[in-house]
Structure 1
Amino acid sequence: MAKRKSDWFDWIKAILIAFALAFIIRMFFFAPIIVDGPSMLPTLHDRDQMIVNKFNYRISEPERFDIVVFHASVQKDFIKRVIGLPGEHVQVKDNVLYIDGEEVEEPFLKDQKNKIKSYQTLTNDFKLEDLPGGYETIPEDHVLVLGDNRENSTDSRMFGVVSMDQVVGKTSLIYWPFDRKKILGANE
């Protein structure tokens, strides 16, 4: 009888440890997220399921074109692409991205840019100064984010730069649906 009690106790202890480890991993390292809406098309599709790396930005800084998840409100997280980094000036003119006055290619928009006609606009012209906050350069510990679907994205053009305190983490792994499973690179 004592052996049976000991076995049950060992099983309960193992299950509790497993739950504790899962909780710690989810809270501090990795978490699933589901893409909600078309703002990152064609890179990410509505209902794509991804893994967010919450640990990455604790040991490194964001890089241009990282795809990040951030708290847009208490109830809602957004997924967007980092375009501008701290200390930079960002401008888009005639569908061309300029960082500190230098033209920067956006390889993930290549197909979209090839499909538009000369009189169409993929990204409406803007300068950092025109955005909420009116900054001349992106402040320390902030990033400027845009959706890949520039015509249908609520992003820094509407709400301004994003504080790194709001950033949950970086995401690059689509794990569901299975036929879209892949790790995204900077060109995607």
Structure 2
Amino acid sequence: MSAKKQTGKPKNKRARNSQSIQRTKKNKQALNKLVRRKKRNRLFIEVICGMGLLILLIYAQSYFFFSLAKVDSYAMSPTLKLGEYVLIEKQAPIQRQAIVLIKRKSAQKSELRRVIGLPTEKIAYQNDQLFINEEERAEPFIALEKKAAFENGFVYTKDFSLYEVTGVETIPKDTYFVMGDNRLYSTDSREYSVIKKEEIIGVVNTSQ
């Protein structure tokens, strides 16, 4: 009897060891699954956060630095074609002959026009020639249109002085005189006077 009991103990011990090993394996497997799940969750959160940050950066860039504008009139023809999109740089300096996107307070939508006169300047047109502070200034962007108009017996830009169209002798501080390149059909500062700096959204990037 004692011999049988002694031979049975190792079997029970091996069985317990086997069960313990199986439990350990199961615990390790469960732990590995938990670790993998946490890694997936962490990766998912990182991807979502990355996408959110990217969207935020794009929005910030669009709001503070760049935007797109669609040409929706013939006022800047032939320089800008109807239906095309232009890149607007919101932090670019406003310089003479720059094309700018403006939003007048009295207008329902934004407009693309060219800067002709800067603050403190006096401008006038005479015989299709631009004068700034009584000095002739070239306008290469409409040279072909002016030539065609001359050959057909009319002027491309009708005569006017700053005082005649705005009631002031010189362009006030922080305001600009803008015109469309399509002088015969553009509504611009000749009709609605000078525009304020705060009404200029940005400058068209012409290096595209």
Aligned residues: 170
Give 1:145's aligned residue: 178
1:1-188 to structure 2, matched below 5 A, reads 1-57=37-93, 62-73=94-105, 75-116=108-149, 117=151, 119-132=153-166, 134-173=167-206, 183=207
C-alpha displacement at 1:172, in angstroms? 2.5
Residue by residue over 1:26-58, the C-alpha shift from the partner in whole angstroms, topping out at 9 and shown as x without a partner, is 00001011111111111111111110000113x
Please report the RMSD computed on the Cα atoms of aligned residues, expressed in angstroms. Answer: 1.4
User: Relative contact order, CA 8 A, sep 6+: which one is greater?
Assistant: 1
Unaligned runs of 5+ in 2: 1-36
- Distance in 2 (alpha carbons) for counterparts of 1:45 and 1:111: 16
Give 2:10's aligned residue: none
C-alpha displacement at 1:167, in angstroms? 0.5
Q: Per residue, is there more helix in 1 or in 2?
A: 2
TM-score, normalised by the number of residues in structure 1: 0.86
C-alpha displacement at 1:118, in angstroms? 5.9
- Distance in 2 (alpha carbons) for counterparts of 1:119 and 1:38: 23
TM-score, normalised by the number of residues in structure 2: 0.78
Identity, in percent, stands at 33
Unaligned runs of 5+ in 1: 174-182
Deviation >4 Å, runs of 4+? none
- Distance in 1 (alpha carbons) for counterparts of 2:146 and 2:42: 66
C-alpha displacement at 1:119, in angstroms? 3.0
Q: Per residue, is there more strand in 1 or in 2?
A: 1
Rg larger for: 2
